[in-house]
Chain A
């Protein structure tokens, strides 16, 4: 009788002890898990901001596009692209002509200077109008924009290259 009680108490005690030990193990595992999660969270917060590198590229491209010597439809006149663009903006603004030829030239240029499948948005504004009179490219939400090219007379040209 005495032995039975002793055995019963013994195994009960052992079970509780085992339970306590397992509980201790679980706490260690939980502590390690929390440390890991904390560590991962800290790492995720350390994101790099966009650097200036693409800014050079888009600024260089806009500058090159504004300067490039192009000709009119019949090739009789040659001038920098910016001069053609300003003239066509005036024509569109006064409903006398379109910028079809200039847009075609621009599409050709962007096709040759941008990477394959690289999206862009090129816009031409005049006299502070909010709506662009030249609007090329699909555009995108996220991209890097060049400093706008501004010319006397209220002409402004903007270029944005999209992140791939």
Chain B
């Protein structure tokens, strides 16, 4: 009789311990899942913030490149020179080495300046003989077709047209994969 009771007691205790172990393991697994989810989303946020900051900064760096910026004997003013924009686009189109150097430096898919004010109807590419009444400066394209693939980052820019001495407003558009 006493043995019976002790056996039943033992069984009960074994059962309780097994239940405790199961509950403990379940709680542990839930905690691990929650922890890793938080870590992952926190890291992803950090990555997105860094990318946003990086490309916003990059857009500003491009807008300040001395080979694009208005200047008189190295004294710069806050605008892009249309003649320099055309020369830049032509050199990068014609010279693969220079294009590769800029790609290494900037790591972007395409770089375009679009004139938004005053408005010009249609999409007219600017070149060395046409700086007035045009509205697109194609500066760089990895694929060569200036297609708009990837994430876009833009900043407004002032563009100086040397042919008529006027300033227009454009958007510097950077397209990138990252």
- Interface readout for B150-173 with A: 1 if CB under 8 Å, 0 if not? 000001111000000011111100
Given A56-B60, A65-B169, the answer on whether A28 and B24 have CB atoms closer than 8 Å is: yes
Contact across chains for B24 and A113 when beta carbons are under 8 A apart:
no
CA distance A24 to B5 in the complex (A): 25
User: A residues within 8 A CB of B166?
Assistant: 69, 78
Interface size of B by CB at 8 A reads 37
| Distance from B94 Cβ to chain A, minimum over Cβ atoms (Å) | 29
Q: Which of B78-125 contact A (CB under 8 A)?
A: 78-79, 116-117, 119
A residues 1-24 touching B (CB-CB < 8 Å): 3, 6-7, 10, 14, 18, 21, 24
B171 CB to nearest A CB, Å: 7
Chain A residues with Cβ under 8 A from B171's Cβ?
A: 113
B9 contacts chain A at the CB level, 8 A cutoff: yes
Residue numbers in B under 8 Å from A113 (CB-CB): 116-117, 156, 169, 171
CA distance A113 to B31 in the complex (A): 49
- The answer to whether the Cβ of B178 comes within 8 Å of any Cβ in the partner chain is no
A155 to B89, CA, bound (A): 38
If A10-B5, A60-B63, A78-B166 touch, whether A108 touches B53 (CB-CB below 8 Å) is no
Residues of chain B touching chain A, judged by Cβ–Cβ distance below 8 Å, are 1, 5, 9, 12, 16, 20, 23-24, 27, 31, 34-35, 38, 42, 49, 52-53, 56-57, 59-60, 63, 78-79, 116-117, 119, 155-158, 166-171
A147 CB to nearest chain B CB (Å)? 12
Tell me the minimal C-beta distance from A106 to chain B in angstroms: 10
CB distance from A11 to the nearest CB of B (A): 10
Q: Which residues of B contact A48 (CB under 8 A)?
A: 49
Contact A28 B27 (CB under 8 A): yes
A21 touches B158 (CB 8 A): no
- Evaluate contact between B119 and A39: CB separation under 8 angstroms: no
Q: How far is the CB of B157 from chain A (nearest CB, A)?
A: 6
Nearest A residue (CB) for B35: A39
A64 within 8 A of B: yes
Flag if B169 contacts A21 (CB, 8 Å): no
In the complex, A136 has a CB within 8 A of chain B: no
A25 close to chain B: CB less than 8 A: yes
Task: Determine the distance from Cα of A53 to Cα of B169 in the docked complex, in whole angstroms.
Answer: 20
Cβ-defined contact, B20 with A60, below 8 A: no
Q: In the complex, what residue of chain A is closest to B31 when comparing beta carbons?
A: A32
Contact yes or no, B56 A67, CB < 8 A:
no
Given A48-B49, A53-B52, A60-B156, 13 extra CB contacts under 8 A: A18-B16, A35-B31, A36-B34, A43-B38, A51-B52, A56-B56, A60-B63, A60-B155, A64-B170, A67-B158, A68-B167, A109-B169, A112-B116
